[in-house]
Structure formats: C-alpha cells, structure tokens
Structure 1
Amino acid sequence: MSMFKVVQRSYSNMSKGLKHLVSISDLSTSEFASLVDRAAYHKKLIKSGEPVGSEISDALKGKLVTLMFSKRSTRTRVSSEGAAVYFGGHPMFLGKDDIQLGVNESLYDTTRIISSMTSCIFARVNSHSEIQQLCQHSSVPIINSLCDTYHPLQAICDILTIKETFGETKGLKLAWVGDANNVINDLAIAALKSGISVSIANPEGITMNPTILEAAKLVSEETGATLETSHDPKKACKDANIIVTDTFVSMGEEAQKQQKLKQFASFQVSSELTKLAAANWKFMHCLPRHAEEVTDEVFYGKNSIVFEEGENRLYAAIAAIEHFVLPSK
C-alpha cells in the first residue's frame, strides 16, 4: 500500500492564496460542514425550478473548466461538467488519449500550460503523487476528482446523502464492508467530522493506511465520534445506520482480480448481513456496482439510497467550485 503523509497545503503556490481540494483531511470540520451545507443549498435551488441569479450563472462566464481524466468516469464526468455549466463556465474534457501528457510532454509542462488557460482543473488521475505535482505547479485550483489514495468529492456527496436521509448526522454509525481504498480513506474522515462513528471491516491481509488512522484519531478527539477496524463484517454492521461498500477490484488492479475476489468471498453485503443493522439502516455504494459486492435484494431494495447518492455528486461538484474556485466575497 502506498504511504503518504496527510497533505497540509504546503504547496509553493499557496502563498498566492490558491486553495486546492486534495482530501477531506485537509479541511477543518467547519469548512467541510460548509461544503455539505452549500451542496444542499444549491440542490434546493436547482430543484425549485426557479432560475438562478446572474451571480451564479455568470460566475465563470467566458472561462474554461478543465477535466483532466486519466481514468474512465461516469458520475464524476457528468457532475463536473454539469457544475461548470451551472456557473456559466465551459467544461473541456481531456482524456488520456486527447493530450500529450505521458507521451511527448511532462506533467509539469502540461500543468503549466493548461492552468494558464483555465479557471480550475478537475483531476481524475492514478497516483496521489500526480495530484501533489498538479497542486505544486498549477496556477489555478486543483479539485481532486479521484486518485489512488483519496476521493473527496464522493465523501462530500455521501455526507450530504446521509444528512438528507437521517436529518441529523451526529450519533449515527456507519459500517464499511470492503477494501481499504480511496473512498473509505476520505469517507471515514468526513463521517467523523460529521459526528458519525465508523466501523470498518477489511478482509484478512488488508489494513487501513496508518496515515488515515492517525488523522481519524485527531478528528475523533475533536468530535467524539469513534473509529474501529476489524476483519469481521458482522461486527461492523452490528447496529449500523448506514452500510457502505465499494468495488473489490479497483481500476488498475485487474491483474489481481481472481486473488481479490477470493479474499473478499465473505464480504458481500446481503440481507443476512443487514439483519444485524439498526432498524432504520440504509445502503450506499458509489457505483459502478458488481454482483460480488452486494446482492440485488439489497442494492435495489427499499433501504438502498444509491441513486440519490449518485445524483448528489452534482451538488458536491458545485459546492467545490464555489468554495475553491470562485473569488471570496
């Protein structure tokens, strides 16, 4: 497992007042809560059907919003482009086959050029080191749209979904049944910042990144929410209000598929597992979903909020642009 220190925004361009969204660990508890609240605000505004004011619709008028994606995407691409259009910007998608990056040009050169022409960069990349380099060399905000260590937009979306469903987040329990990956790395911190206790179950041989556990301990001391880890899905799901899982084979791990499926054989979220949860339990998954991760009965059942969760990716992206890209009033 890659080991990274929690990024503390020590990039050289921070002296210019530039802010990047790298991980939830970088955000204060109040800053993260504000992002969730603003996502909810913009969702309500859009759902009302009323036209938004020019202060929103013209905020990025005449400006590019770049989506620099090295990985396939559905929700991230649609939500990021939708958020750019909401503020009047023009989204430009740059996939791995669209630009010279990695072929005839270095990441440094590409970052310097693209950031000189755009208002921000949504970056969906392979390694966390790529996000760090982008932040170091970019002259505009970088919004981490997924790397191998973090997925902050998903965490904002997930807490928004939980808050909408339960009304209040403080005192809830979230169970994670699955891999020690980028999604839980940010979701665990986001949940703790929201007063939600977290119980993580990973298969034998898989453990959480110590850097994440260290960050979680600090947040727990602040909010009183707790984090526990084990290799027992039943223990994690006991009295849980929210049960979450994700892909067992992440992009880039295809060669390990058979080994990982064997390792995760007893980790499918089924109705038997959910019987251990609290009476008001809900199921979440960031999608795309595979049958080995969760049964149809749970995924499409009345307790599933996966499609509401997916829609909320749009409002998370909108909140991120507002907070990190638009000039402060």
Structure 2
Amino acid sequence: MQENINLKGKDFLSLKDYSKGEINYLLSFAANLKDKQKRGEKHNLLQGKSLGMIFEKPSTRTRMSFEVGIYQLGGQALFLSSRDLQIGRGEPICDTARVFSRYVDGIMIRTFSHADVEELAHYATIPVINGLTDLLHPCQVLADLLTIKEYKGKLEGQKLVYIGDGNNMAHSLMYGGAKMGMNVVIAAPEAYFPDEKITAEAKSIAAENGGTIELISNPKEAAEDADVLYTDVWASMGQESEQEERMEKFLTYQVNNELMACAKKDAIVLHCLPAHRGEEITAEVLEKYQNVIFDEAENRLHAQKAIMAAIM
C-alpha cells in the first residue's frame, strides 16, 4: 500500500473525488482486510468508533456490510431509518449533520437525493459515506473493481460492458472505470442513456487515464469482446410504476447465453443484486456465474471496511 496516501476525514460521496492512486490504495487496503478476516487475524482499526447509518431507502447488502464491517473493525453501528430521525419531521439536514457530528465518528447515508448527501457532508465535521443515491452508488463500484481485479488480475485495459438502465450504477461504473483506465461501454436504449454531464466528465477522466467511455444502443455490438458483462434491475426503487414500460423497452437488453456468445470466452458476469431472474438476466447465466456474483456481494463488506478504516 502507498504510505503517502492519507484519507482521514475525507468524504466518500463519489469516485470522481478520488484519484487513481487513492482508489488503488482502497482496493489494496480492502484486499488486505479481506485476507486478515479469512485468516482470523484481529484488525480492530476502529476500536471505540461509532458509525451513524441513515436509511431512507431499505437495503440488504448495504446494511449488513456496514454493520458487520464496523463490528469486525472494533466499532459499532447505529441503524436509523427515516422514522427514527427528526429529518422526517422537518428538521433541516444541516442541523442533523451538526448533531451527528457530536455523537458519532462517521455517517453512512442511503437515500434518494444526491443533493441531500452533499448538504449533509457540507455541514458535518465528520466523514460522510454515500451508501447510495438516485445519482451514484460508489460503494458498490469499489467492490466491483475489487472483484474484477481478483478475477482478471488487473483493471487497466479491461472492457467492462454495462447492459441496462443508465442509472446510478452506470454513472458510478463510468467514473470508477474511467479513473482506472478501463474501457467502459454502456448499452441502453437512447432514452435511458446515462446523465449527459456525468458521461462528459467520465470521458474526460478516461482520456487522462488511458481508458474510454462509450454509449451504444445495440447490446450485442456493445458486448463484443467484453471482459466483464454487468447488469442491474430495469426498474430501481422508486420506479415501480414504470415497471411494465421498462420491461418492454429493455426486452432485448437481457444478459443471456446469446449475449454471452458475443463476449470473450473468459468473460465474467457481475450483478449488484438483487437480481430478477428472467428479466435483466436469465437464471441459467446467473447460476453459471453465481460464484463471481456472490464474491462481488461479499466484497461489499471488505471494500466498505477499507473505506471506513481509511476515512474514520
């Protein structure tokens, strides 16, 4: 690990805010913590520290990975839903940030509005971690990068093809892939392409690091010679009313055997979960690559431990 990198006190809101060296540091740190955990070696780096966890969106992996993660690091987590907080009764975010800063050592928030997370970070005097917003999901992508590195040995030059909605996952994969010199392709119907501003920023970052960002509407063309195929649900939380319309629009964007035939023979499949078998991915493909997908899910734990230990 690079000893000259110090992330103490830094927010983790977007991978755009982290340099390639800092991301590599976090990936090495995560791999190290994973190894320690597997060997049963104590690593109480956050002994006596507390993490306040704000959940306005429910979660399985986010809650478990942060709660178990800080426990393994020697600290404790406090789970707070919107029902538990005065935010739900009209307390401004700035006051919530100031109160949390007096009680805990870090904040993890999983919510809808990215602007709310930025405001929380602005007023908090402790580091804030973005556990997911409608715009970005950086914690998931750090775990994804760790998984790709484990299976492929490197990140630079790898072709990562994301198939589906140009959502928060697509945005963070573009930022993360661009920082690491990867060739990221987003395959989606044009009406569901990622945010134009984020795409432009990611293209600029990729150019600086020897990578590329490309948007394609033809999934088979996108999947050609892919090292990694990635998918996510077609309708995210809050988009349930669009489910039928999206099912129709994304019908040809399923990760199935036909699409896998376009990728490299040694390609891997990733899914941030939960998966809807028979929709964005067939049960057959998911089961064939379940070892990779559930390693990816496990890596949320190790990646998030690295984030917490580095910034808290």
Q: Over residues 296-316 of structure 1, what are the superposed CA-to-partner deviations in whole Å (9 max), with x where a residue is unaligned? A: 110111476110000000011
**Mean Cα displacement is larger for which, 81-90 or 145-154?**
81-90
Structure 2 residue 15 is matched with structure 1 residue 33: no
2: distance between equivalents of 1:62 and 1:280? 44
Counterpart pick for 1:253 among 227, 234, 239? 239
Letter in 1 for 2:104: T
Counterpart pick for 1:22 among 7, 13, 16? 13
TM-score, structure 1 normalization: 0.89
Find the residue that maps to 2:77 and give its secondary structure.
Answer: strand
Counterpart pick for 2:165 among 179, 182, 188? 179
Contact 1:177 1:233 in 2 (8 A): yes
Sort the Cα spacing of 1:166 and 1:303 in 2 relative to 1 into closer, same or farther, 3 A.
farther
Q: Which runs of 5+ in 1 are unaligned?
A: 1-16
Find the residue that maps to 2:91 and give its secondary structure.
Answer: coil
Structure 2 residue 96 is matched with structure 1 residue 96: no
Structure 2 residue 303 is matched with structure 1 residue 312: no
Letter in 1 for 2:32: Y
Q: Which residue of 1 aligns with 2:308?
A: 321
Find the residue that maps to 1:102 and give its secondary structure.
Answer: helix
Q: Which residue of 2 aligns with 1:238?
A: 224
Q: Which residue of 2 aligns with 1:218?
A: 204
Sort the Cα spacing of 1:158 and 1:233 in 2 relative to 1 into closer, same or farther, 3 A.
same
Please show how residues 33-112 of structure 1 align to structure 2 within 5 Å: 33-49=24-40, 51-52=41-42, 56-57=43-44, 59-112=45-98
Sort the Cα spacing of 1:79 and 1:303 in 2 relative to 1 into closer, same or farther, 3 A.
closer
Superposed CA RMSD: 1.4
Number of aligned residue pairs: give it.
Answer: 304
Q: Which residue of 2 aligns with 1:10?
A: none
TM-score, structure 2 normalization: 0.94
Sort the Cα spacing of 1:63 and 1:304 in 2 relative to 1 into closer, same or farther, 3 A.
closer
Letter in 2 for 1:35: L
Q: Which residue of 2 aligns with 1:145?
A: 131
Sort the Cα spacing of 1:302 and 1:102 in 2 relative to 1 into closer, same or farther, 3 A.
closer
Structure 2 residue 175 is matched with structure 1 residue 189: yes
Sort the Cα spacing of 1:212 and 1:104 in 2 relative to 1 into closer, same or farther, 3 A.
closer
Contact 1:298 1:304 in 2 (8 A): no
Q: Over residues 92-119 of structure 1, what are the superposed CA-to-partner deviations in whole Å (9 max), with x where a residue is unaligned? A: 1001222221224222222211221000
Letter in 2 for 1:21: F
Sort the Cα spacing of 1:146 and 1:303 in 2 relative to 1 into closer, same or farther, 3 A.
closer
Letter in 1 for 2:233: T
**Mean Cα displacement is larger for which, 33-42 or 217-226?**
217-226
Find the residue that maps to 1:66 and give its secondary structure.
Answer: strand
Q: Which residue of 2 aligns with 1:301?
A: 288
Sort the Cα spacing of 1:93 and 1:63 in 2 relative to 1 into closer, same or farther, 3 A.
same
Q: Which residue of 1 aligns with 2:4?
A: none
2: distance between equivalents of 1:270 and 1:302? 12
Identity %: 37
Q: CA deviation at 1:229?
A: 0.6
Q: Over residues 161-196 of structure 1, what are the superposed CA-to-partner deviations in whole Å (9 max), with x where a residue is unaligned? A: 000001122221111100111112111221222222
Q: Over residues 211-253 of structure 1, what are the superposed CA-to-partner deviations in whole Å (9 max), with x where a residue is unaligned? A: 2222222222222111111111101111101000101101111
User: Which of the two has greater helix per residue?
Assistant: 2
Structure 2 residue 270 is matched with structure 1 residue 284: yes
Q: Runs of at least 4 residues of structure 1 off by over 6 A?
A: none
